[in-house]
Structure 1
Amino acid sequence: MTLSEFREQAGQWLRENVGAVAGTTERDPFDVAVFHSLPFEAEQALLEEHKRWQRIKFDAGYGALDWPVEDGGAGLSVEHADVFAREESTLLPLAPHELFSVTMHLIAPTIRILGTPRQKETFLPSMLRGELLACQLFSEPGAGSDLASLGTRAVRDGDEWVINGQKVWTSGAQFAEWGELIARTDPDVPKHAGMTAFLVPLDAPGVEVRQIRQMSGGTSFNEVFFTDVRVPDRLRLGEVGAGWNVALTTLAFERGGSSNTAGVGGQFSQLVASARAAGRIGDPQIRQQLAEVYLRQTLAEIDLLRDRQARAAGGAPGAVGSVRKVQWVDKLKLVSDTATAILGRTLLADTGRPGTYAWNEHVLGAPGYRIAGGSDEIQRNIIAERLLGLPAEARADKGKSWRESTSRSRA
């Protein structure tokens, strides 16, 4: 089947089936929020519709188009997956949700690459059918961009690990059944070498999830506490001490997945609609800014396709994901600047006019992605060192154990 034939077939199937999930969570044409500000019940309902839609897709063969057949996919090319994603983004009425994206595009692929046969058998079918959602348990109050400084401890006790510590800024944890956790298992080796990854059930005794209220009103972020949580060794993801490599794999998927086509935040078409409604579409300065947004969005789509083609063999993404992440964050800022220029003071008050005050959620949320998934500074270091071959940044803790470097920083 050629791509054009597949596009026609997929489009026809989508038109016949998207009505199964249309309803109370149907997407507002001016939903430009970067982070959710939905009430708890509404956010839960949105996730349930995403889960139902994923089951419908998977049962029809569209749930994992470019995954290998042996892992539950359709065995098609990344080009087929991109064609379907474009058609779906146009026809599907559901707003995106980060937890669903994290499950499908970050954690499931990490398990597919690094998981044991038993872990793949346990988790991947449920994830691909939308029956199981999982979050990232990475960042901590004292370990954000410098993730390797994390202090959540996992101590081995026979065939189990006992986990104590805290994670923070965990997207969707209040709705997730599982989490991919990175913990410190050896404090007496350099910090990058003493971490191990685990798959942790969030209903386990000793796990507590607390919501964090955002300035936009939502609670999509959470902090998660672990008190003597016992996890069997069979839920360890990767080798003992190899947690940094597991984290890099997941983060590379995260940075590579930061896409201007993901429907997160405002898009070019929404800016044009706001400019028309405000009578600014003929303003040459506004038109120039709109052209820049369109250019960034188009280039991002090209880079996304090139990145996916480069990973068609099934390997983990590399440092090029940092390039795309920086590019996406810059585009978010440009969208905010353009919306502000179009609307002026009408951005400040909710007058009921569509496409005006709604942009506040974008303006308030866009700066958050400068630190989400690794700060801009971290991304530029990765680009400089791993892609451009520039000298590595000087590190005072190089060669020192985590315990030694932590005690000195506290002193």
Structure 2
Amino acid sequence: MSPSEFETRARAWVGDVVARLGFTAATDDGFDVSVFHDLSTDAELALLDRHRAWQREKFAAGYGALAWPAEYGGADAGTDIAEAFARIENELCPLPPHELVSVTLHLIAPTIRLLGTEDQKRQFLPAMLGGELLACQLFSEPAAGSDLADLGTRAVRDGDDWIVSGQKVWTSGAQFAEWGELLARTDPDQPKHAGITAFLVPLDAPGVEVRPIRQMSGGSSFNEVFLDNVRIPDSHRLGEVGQGWSVALTTLAFEREGGSNTAGIGGQFTQLVDTARRLGRDTDPRVREQLARVYLRQQLATVDQLRDRQARDGGAAPSAIGSIRKIQWVDKLAAVSTAARTVLGRSLVADTGVPGTYAWNAHVLGAPGYSIAGGSDQIQRNIVAERLLGLPAEPRADRGLTWREARSRTGAH
């Protein structure tokens, strides 16, 4: 089948299924520029149910994992076919994005496909690709900030099980997820990067408690997750004992490589232009300069996506280039916020009832979150400096120390 024939068939299929499922735009006026959604629990569950139904339909029809190998539920199609379908989907399917769905399909499922056992692949991959199972990342911790490898959640071996206790934070979608990819310290007497092991943990297991965190943008996308003597069978260990940092790097590489999966989040250039015209600000030189900055960043992102696709087609693995993409994307979010503030002025902080104005508040309040999520901007710049530019690594006070020794020096536990 030629690419044009595929697009014709896929376009007809998407249109038919969207109509049959009764999907409509998320807002009455179709104007949504939020970075993080602000929905009630019932509304968010309803959105996830629509995503599950859509993913189930795609998977059954062979569109759910076009670029994946057939043995794992894919269609063995190239990335060009997968991206053509994604463009059609973005155009014709009005489902607002949800980060938990993206994390499941684009981060955790690919990690299991690369590093999981055959039993884990059979258990998790069809369920994830078919919309039956959603999974979150249980990575960040209150005492480990941007230094993820300093995490202190403990996993102690008990026969064929592991007993896990600790706390995770900033976990997107945990209140709606069935499973989590967990990083825990299994050997405190190794250097911090060497004593970590990864697990797959059911979030309905005894001892797991999820507490949503209210954000300044209004919603509760993030959560605290407490683990109190949670028993995990060794069959749910992901990768080798002590190799959890390699598992984490794999997942994080998918996260940073996946800028195309988040490109539609928040306000876009065309929406900014529409707002400026509605308010008569589109001829203001300062506004036009800032709109041009946003346009330039969006065009560069398109070029970068094409370059990344060529690299993937050539068999390149995820690399530190993903950190550059993440920095660029966050910079674009900030540029949109700056332009919105200039265009709207006081209308950004007070709802005057004019459509498409106060709604930008959700973008401006949400955009700073992505300067931290997925690794802070400072961490990304260190990765670029050390791994791509070959600059010397930053001095580290814990170099040569075990995790326990380093924690004792700082007084942390």
TM-score interval (norm. to shorter): over 0.9
Q: Secondary structure at the match of 2:94?
A: coil
Q: Distance in 2 between matches of 1:62 and 1:80?
A: 10
1:219 and 1:389, CA in 2 relative to 1: closer, same or farther beyond 3 A? same
Q: Distance in 2 between matches of 1:214 and 1:208?
A: 19
Do 2:102 and 2:261's aligned partners in 1 also have CA atoms closer than 8 Å?
no
Deviation at 1:287, TM superposition (A): 2.4
In the TM superposition, what are the counterparts of 1:271-310 in structure 2 within 5 Å?
271-310=272-311
- Is 1:12–2:6 an aligned residue pair? no
Do 1:168 and 1:222's aligned partners in 2 also have CA atoms closer than 8 Å?
yes
Which one is further off, 253-262 or 105-114? 253-262
Deviations 1:358-405 (A, max 9, x none): 000110110111111100000000001111111111111111100000
Q: Secondary structure at the match of 1:361?
A: helix
Q: Which amino acid aligns with 2:198?
A: A
1:21 and 1:408, CA in 2 relative to 1: closer, same or farther beyond 3 A? farther
* Aligned twin of 1:151: 152
Do 1:260 and 1:328's aligned partners in 2 also have CA atoms closer than 8 Å?
no
- Is 1:132–2:133 an aligned residue pair? yes
Q: Distance in 1 between matches of 2:308 and 2:374?
A: 18
Do 1:152 and 1:184's aligned partners in 2 also have CA atoms closer than 8 Å?
yes
Q: Secondary structure at the match of 1:55?
A: helix
Q: Structure 1 stretches of 5 or more lacking a match?
A: none
Q: Distance in 2 between matches of 1:231 and 1:253?
A: 25
Q: Which amino acid aligns with 2:321?
A: V
RMSD: 1.5
* Aligned twin of 1:378: 379
Q: Which amino acid aligns with 2:8?
A: E
Which one is further off, 301-310 or 231-240? 301-310
Do 2:165 and 2:229's aligned partners in 1 also have CA atoms closer than 8 Å?
yes
Deviation at 1:21, TM superposition (A): 4.0
- Is 1:345–2:343 an aligned residue pair? no
- Is 1:369–2:366 an aligned residue pair? no
- Is 1:186–2:219 an aligned residue pair? no
Do 1:253 and 1:316's aligned partners in 2 also have CA atoms closer than 8 Å?
no
* Aligned twin of 2:54: 53
* Aligned twin of 1:392: 393
Q: Distance in 2 between matches of 1:179 and 1:166?
A: 13
* Aligned twin of 2:170: 169
TM-score by length of 1: 0.97
* Aligned twin of 2:76: 75
Q: Which amino acid aligns with 1:17?
A: V
* Aligned twin of 2:330: 329
* Aligned twin of 1:223: 224
Do 1:113 and 1:316's aligned partners in 2 also have CA atoms closer than 8 Å?
no
Q: Distance in 2 between matches of 1:3 and 1:276?
A: 38
Q: Secondary structure at the match of 2:212?
A: strand
In the TM superposition, what are the counterparts of 1:229-268 in structure 2 within 5 Å?
229-259=230-260, 262-268=263-269
Deviations 1:145-179 (A, max 9, x none): 10000000000001000000000010000000000
Deviation at 1:64, TM superposition (A): 0.5
Q: Which amino acid aligns with 1:248?
A: L
* Aligned twin of 1:357: 358
Q: Which amino acid aligns with 1:26?
A: A
Q: Secondary structure at the match of 2:304?
A: helix
Q: Distance in 1 between matches of 2:314 and 2:111?
A: 15
Do 2:253 and 2:318's aligned partners in 1 also have CA atoms closer than 8 Å?
yes
Identity %: 70
Q: Which amino acid aligns with 1:30?
A: F
TM-score by length of 2: 0.96
Number of residues paired by the alignment? 411
1:161 and 1:211, CA in 2 relative to 1: closer, same or farther beyond 3 A? same
In the TM superposition, what are the counterparts of 1:42-121 in structure 2 within 5 Å?
42-121=43-122
Q: Distance in 1 between matches of 2:405 and 2:380?
A: 27
* Aligned twin of 2:319: 318
